Amino acid sequence: MRVAIIGAGIVGASIARELSRYEVEVHLVEREADVGWGVSKANTGLIHAGYDDDPERFPNRARLCVEGNRIWHRWVEELDIPHAWSGALVIAKEESEVKVLEGLLRRGERNRVPELRILERDEALSMEPNLVKVEAALYAPTVGQISPPQAVIALVENAVDNGVKVHLDTEVRGVEVSGEKVRGLRTSAGFLEADIVINAAGLYADEISREVGADYFEIRPRKGEYLIFDEDAGPKPSRVLFPTPSERSKGVVVTTEVQGHLMVGPNAQDLPKEEKDDRSTTPKGLREIYKKASEIWPLPPLNKVIRTFSGLRPEPTGGDFVIRAEDVWGFVNVAGMRSPGLTAAPAVAKEVARILAGMGIDLREKTKWKVRRRGIHGNRAGQGRVICRCNLVREPEIREAIRRMKRIGVKTPSVDSVKFRTSATTGTCQGSFCRIEIASILAEEFNSPLWDVTLKGRGSELGVGDVKVLLRR
Amino acid sequence: MMYDVVVVGGGPAGLAAASESSKLGLGTLLLDENPRLGGILPQCIHPGFGLHCLGEDLTGPEFAHRLIEEVRRSDVEVKTQAHVTSLAMRSDLVKEVTYASPQGTEAVQAKAVIYAAGARERHRFEVGIAGDRVAGIYTAGEAQAMMDLYGVMPGRRVVIVGSGDVGLIMARRFALEGAEVVGVVEMLPYPGGLARNLMILRDFDIPLYLSHKVTEVRGRGRVERVKVVRVDEELRETGEGFWMECDTLLISAGLVPRVKILRRAGAIIDPATGGPVVNDRLETTLPGVFAAGNSLIINDLVDYAVEQGRTAAKGAGEFVRGNGIPTRRWIRVRREGNVRFVVPHMLGGDRDVWLYTRVSRPVEDALVEVPEIGLRRKVPVLKPSEMLRLRIKAEVEGGRVTLVIK
């Protein structure tokens, strides 16, 4: 039995890892040069508690979020994923918002979220003395944070250790169907035979689904922008801080992300459905999140921002996750994984295994399945030349990252691949000292000219040739 | 291991400090993070180095070579690939400097520390350029390293943000290698670089856009265009702006002293310079910790960085010999009128010193005064881009010194 998963984001990677425990042949197909570069790359990185989602309107979200949260507690340990179980506070600034908190608490009860409680003003302030304004707060101790790209990398590394094959720089061009049964995928790298196709194509899941005639949903990109501040720029909260949510979104979050930087965002801007590649930040959006976040937390000035980024969330028709086997036998949709998609991913993976079992597929467990994966641990006590001065990343870690990139099948040397594995280039100077040094190590390891090393895949080469190239024309 | 002096940073200021310190008979260790000494000089292949302090016109690598030779001939112990991660005051007399080396994490103790860790460049996120995160966006110094240390051509059509010296020098560098410099975009109503570097724009026919800023970058894998918007006197954006086609965006929006380690050790930082508050020995508010070069103050000439290195070394010598700098009523240098900053911040009144200062905005027929000592000097033009260096005689007494620029 051969399974092809389209999309190596958090969902595809979770499914690959989950299926790797069974006696099936799993192929993970990804159009980007590395794993986790789509929706998973740029989001808030929160493992939500599960009080946000209305179980009547969004039953998949409500159920899989709470279940996913519990599984992540285990997975971060098994897979050595950087994380922080920091807990969260939902801040009511005014008396009028306290009612909303009570609504969240009741919903949390219905969704079986453990350990929620409402705190009074003084209790909230004793937890977070720098809050700008607080009347009451909903305390959700089960909320955590992970680095989503690192989580995807960890899952894929473990999946590969357990026999999963990864096809990077491979774009799916079509799904081959005959006799109401999937036969495989037409890709930019040729035909890939498959009995089962799992569509975890993120923003493009609607387009893939249409290939088998399942056109009942559409994915619209919803942009969210973020600001990250320098590490010593100002006070940082110990917990994830949410404003009181609106109907449409959980609002602009203030948090100390896993690496220790103050981060604020996202906003929510719906884009036309054609603009699934638009990951630009906008001056207006950045001002908007700065203003909103300032309402709950004293932010450093804007010139202490060391990074801005934006991500797209795949907003499905109807708003709930689409997880089901379609009429064409062998085709399973796992689409519309908007928030809390990251949280739900492990539970979604288990749901997919149940769906496959329900289709009569024999999921026999492998006798030997490696449950653990170790991260790259060089860092502070390590040895070797320091490459990234801001985050103290040393040369052996860079080389280990490259070894691991190659092991999962990365073919295009990219600085971003090293960045997500080591945190190099993400500090105060944003790589202005070390990007070229990292590129020269990549060039050596991939036997590539230095100028052909990319920032983030083909089309983003760092240079145009050797320094005399333009004079020779 | 206890040294008299540990110098942090092997650029021009640190090299000068180390050889001077050794000349004074102090046991000196020089730590530098790079595999080779010289700091940023080896990538500065243009001339203009050493005009003041050597009376010669050298390139960066040549100038570095002179300073390195001086250190090599001295008793200074040198450790490269030693990236200092913290400075701790064990007492007012003993400091511990911790550094990451290829062997691991090591620490040394010293009576005095001269901090000369240089500066870093502001990058696109700090100057608020939104848009896509794509290849082709580099700080000017990063592009310089790519071209002149690694032999890589970063792009074909370049827009440069900021008309400071580094940006202008890179404009010439790109033009000389056959690239098209589409324009230099300066937010302020006047250009930022030294007069001799502004000539580059004329020599290579490069358009300068004053009172404009780049607000957005767009592109898929690589920069394709940038949005340029006019700004008013308060630097607020006016109008819709226009797009410039280019494949490379260089950010030359100023340098920031690298003082994280000093700040964490407890040194007071002057918001006007971004560097530490110092007295006329260039001693910070941490006893026996001195600062020099671009981590003290952003210099426009390497000669000044060298001079500060030597001044700091003399101060360190005084500290080591006397087990501290003698107590006195430090005279604060007050600022009046068009003075953005002045360094040193405090004078002892017992010796002649150099004051380094910059104006906040350009002024013609400027009057520079220190009324308390009767110093009065007319200067035809003063620009924020050109540091003014003033000799202050030892006779300053009493409680006040005021630098007035009108």
Q: What is the pLDDT of residues A95-106, one digit of tens each?
A: 999 999 999 999
Residues 199-228 of B with CB under 8 A from A: 215-216, 218, 220-222
Which of B32, B43, B133 is the best substitution to test chain A (most A C-beta atoms within 10 A)? B133
Per the CB < 8 Å rule, is B153 touching A432?
A: no
User: Residue A402 has which token pair?
Assistant: 């490259």
pLDDT tens by residue, B145-200: 999 999 999 999 999 999 988 899 999 999 999 999 999 999 999 988 888 888 99
- Coil/strand/helix, residue A112: coil
Separation of alpha carbons A254 and A398, rounded Å = 31
Average pLDDT value for residue range B71-96: 97
Residue of chain B with shortest Cα separation from A231: B260
Residue in A with minimal Cα distance to B119: A429
| Residues A17, A9: Cα–Cα separation, whole Å | 12
**Pairwise CA distance, residues B14 & B117, whole Å:** 8
Q: What CATH class has A2-40+148-217+318-358?
A: alpha beta
Query: Residue B266 has what DSSP assignment?
Result: T
Residues 6+ away with beta carbon under 8 Å from A367: none
List, for residues A359-374, the tens digit of each pLDDT value. 999 999 999 999 999 9
Q: How far is CA A229 from the centre of its chain?
A: 20
Model pLDDT, residue B375: 86
Outline which parts of chain B fall under CATH 3.50.50.60: 2-120+256-327, 123-253
- B283: pLDDT strictly greater than 80: yes
Whether the CB of A448 is below 8 Å from some CB of chain B: the reply is: no
| Region A319-330 average pLDDT | 97
Domain ranges (residues) in chain A: 2-40+148-217+318-358, 83-144+219-314, 386-452
Chain B residues within 8 A of A394 when measuring between CB atoms: 100
Cα A340–chain centre separation: 11
Q: Above 0.90 for ipTM, yes or no?
A: yes
User: Tell me: the pLDDT tens digits for A283-315?
Assistant: 999 999 999 999 999 999 999 999 999 999 999
The structure tokens 């000068």 sit at: B16
Tokens coding B124: 């696109």
Task: Return the CATH architecture of domain B2-120+256-327.
Answer: 3-Layer(bba) Sandwich (3.50)
- Which has more pLDDT, A246 or A287? A287
Chain B residue at shortest CA distance from A434? B142
Strand partners, B161: B185, B251
**Active-site annotation holds for A48:** yes
State the count of interchain CB pairs (< 8 A) between A and B.
Answer: 145
Report yes or no: B188 and B210 within 8 Å, Cβ to Cβ: yes
CATH number of A83-144+219-314: 3.30.9.10
Q: Give the span between the Cα atoms of A397 and A387, in whole angstroms.
A: 9
> Percentage of residues in chain A with pLDDT exceeding 90?
96
Question: Does the pLDDT of residue B32 top 80, yes or no?
Answer: yes
Q: Cβ-count burial of A377 within 10 angstroms (0-12 exposed, 13-18 middle, 19+ buried)?
A: exposed
Residue with tokens 């969704």: A111
Give the Cα separation of B316 and B24 in Å (integer). Answer: 10
Model pLDDT, residue B397: 63
What topology does CATH give the domain B123-253? FAD/NAD(P)-binding domain (3.50.50)
The predicted model scores a pTM of: 0.95
Reported confidence tier of residue A378, pLDDT bands at 50, 70, 90: low
Average pLDDT of the residues of chain A: 96
Residue A380, pLDDT above cutoff 60: no
Q: Do B263 and A464 touch (CB under 8 A)?
A: no
Could you give the angle at the alpha carbon of A61 between the alpha carbons of A60 and A65, nearest 5°? 115
Q: Which is catalytic among the residues A27, A48, A83, A261? A: A48
How much is the pLDDT for A247?
Answer: 75
Q: Band the pLDDT of B329: cuts 50, 70, 90.
A: confident
Taking the C-alpha atoms of residue B381 and residue B385, their distance in angstroms, rounded to an integer, is 11
Distance to chain A for B368, nearest Cα, Å: 32
Residue with tokens 């948090």: A255
Q: In this structure, how many other beta carbons lie within 10 angstroms of the beta carbon of residue B381?
A: 11
Contact B295, B9 (CB under 8 A): yes
How far apart CA A72 and CA A79 sit, in angstroms, is: 10
Structure tokens at B352: 């002649």
